[in-house]
Amino acid sequence: MLYQANHRSYRKKANYKPLVFFLILLGLAGIAFFFRQDIKNLFAGDRRLLLEKERKLLQEGIVKGEPKEGEIKEFKSTAKDFVTSNPKEGISYHYAALSGYYEFLLLGFRFDSVTLSKIAYTGFQEFLEQDSSYLPLVEDSYRQALRAQAIDPEFLESTDNRYLIAFGESIRQKLSRSALNKLLISIEPEKLSPELKSGYAWTCLVGSALSGNTEFLKKILSQQDISGSLLLSARESDFLIALSEFRAGQYVSSLNYLRRVKNANEDFLTGSSKILEARIFYYQNLSPKAIALLEEYYPNSGDRKEEVLNLTREILSKNQTLKTKLPIED
């Protein structure tokens, strides 16, 4: 067969483009496999920077006592992704612990003087019985902080992480009061992040009032850079010292402070001081004096009548010859 000059053959040529494309993809996959940890670290670094940026945004609201839901939810979501992509890094669990702590604040808990006085008097049990929704968040934050510490020894020295553990212990009430107090004393408040400082002061005051460590309590009260944000009144400070001295068995000192707390207003501090004073008289084998004080307070005790009656019953059960005008049989 003859072909004309410059004639092109129309026979189909082989197309190698798909093969080349496949080989390129295979090569990229191989590179990604061998350098997968470096790539993960690159994105982890970006996510860590994002978490720090988000934390800076929400710190201001928490310091002001106005935590913002959107910022805290965003931080929690990013922290969750960070843990998933970096399960062997202590910092991942530290951020997760922080997110749980922030969400705890979002429920409405405030490190204020009123809550402080009530929990220092009753302990955490009554508080948790009134609203158990706080406990799962505290538990999760506590567990995550412990994981951070277990995975990375650096977090044994992390002030923020140790505070999160101490706060969890104070709410959970599984650690002895003396051990909790020792943990709180070991934390250096000047190294804490700004949004954790008021919580640390609050927890220290509650812990020392419950454990009877008056020396540490007075130290925290005297350091305005630590306790100043709580805006404690002189009466509230005296009440905390009275509670601490009572739990330390220093009844005379406790009575002196209680008498400075009481005033004409039948508020929580005055009522608690009268009930605690009666209990001290009972412990000092002055039961008739304790009963007389409770009988005097009862008409003005409002919603604390049952507390007054319960203490009266306790005293009478140990002193069979004593009588009272109070309706303990009702």
> pLDDT (tens digit, 9 = 90+) per residue, 97-148?
999 999 999 988 889 999 999 999 998 888 888 888 888 999 999 999 999 9
Residue 19 has a pLDDT of 60
Q: What pLDDT is stored for residue 38 in this prediction?
A: 43
> Span 58-74, mean pLDDT?
90
Considering only CA atoms, which of 62, 21, 42 is closest in space to residue 195? Answer: 62
DSSP symbols for 61-126: HHHTT---HHHHHHHHHHHHHHHHH-TT-HHHHHHHHHHHHHHHHHTT----HHHHHHHHHH-HHH
HSE (CB half, 13 Å, CA atoms) of 50? 17
Average confidence score pLDDT of the chain: 86
Spatial CB neighbours of 113, under 8 Å, sequence gap ≥ 6: 230, 231, 232, 233, 236
Is the pLDDT at 3 greater than 80? The verdict is: no
pLDDT score of 8: 43
- Residue 29 is predicted with a pLDDT of 56
Residue 172 has a pLDDT of: 87
The domain tally of the chain equals 1
Residue 281 has pLDDT above 60, yes or no: yes
User: How far is 320 from 180, CA to CA, in rounded Å?
Assistant: 39
Q: Is the per-residue pLDDT at 11 higher than 70?
A: no
Is the pLDDT score of 165 beyond 90?
yes
Note the pTM of the prediction, 2 decimals. 0.81
The contacts of residue 248 (CB under 8 Å, 6+ apart) are 212, 213, 214
pLDDT reported for residue 41: 44
Asked if residue 174 belongs to a domain, the reply is yes
- Share above pLDDT 70 across residues of the chain, in percent, rounded to a whole number: 86
Give me the helices (H) in the chain, please. 17-34, 36-63, 69-85, 90-106, 113-122, 124-130, 134-151, 159-172, 177-185, 197-211, 214-222, 224-227, 234-247, 251-261, 268-283, 287-297, 305-318
pLDDT recorded at residue 175:
86
Q: Are 225 and 261 in contact (CB under 8 A)?
A: no
DSSP structure class, residue 267 = S
Residue 42 scores a pLDDT above 50: no
Average pLDDT over residues 45-54: 82
In this prediction, residue 215 has a pLDDT band, given cuts at 50, 70 and 90, of very high
Q: Is residue 270 part of a domain?
A: no
| Confidence category of residue 27, pLDDT binned at 50, 70, 90 | low
In this structure, are residues 230 and 202 in contact, taking their beta carbons and an 8 Å threshold?
Answer: yes
Mean per-residue pLDDT for 6-35?
A: 53
Bigger pLDDT: 177 vs 287: 287
Residue whose pair of structure tokens reads 């310091």 in the numeric block: 63
Question: 173 lies in a domain?
Answer: yes
Residue 127, token pair as written in the block: 């508080």
Contact 262, 270 (CB under 8 A): yes
At residue 248, the pLDDT reads 95
Burial class (CB in 10 A: 0-12, 13-18, 19+), 145: buried
pLDDT at 5: 47
Instruction: With respect to residue 265, please indicate whether it lies within any of the assigned structural domains.
Output: no
Say what the pLDDT of residue 31 is.
54
- Model pLDDT, residue 69: 93
User: Is 276 a member of any domain?
Assistant: no
The answer to whether residue 246 is domain-embedded is: no
* Least-confidence region, from 39-43, 67-71, 92-96, 261-265: 39-43
Residue 51's alpha-carbon distances to 32, 76, 91, 145, in angstroms, are: 25, 9, 11, 16
The per-residue pLDDT for 328 is: 85
Instruction: Flag whether 322 is in a domain.
Output: no
CA 145 to chain centre: 12
Domain that holds residue 65: 37-230
Residue 2 has pLDDT above 50, yes or no: no
In a domain, 257, yes or no: no
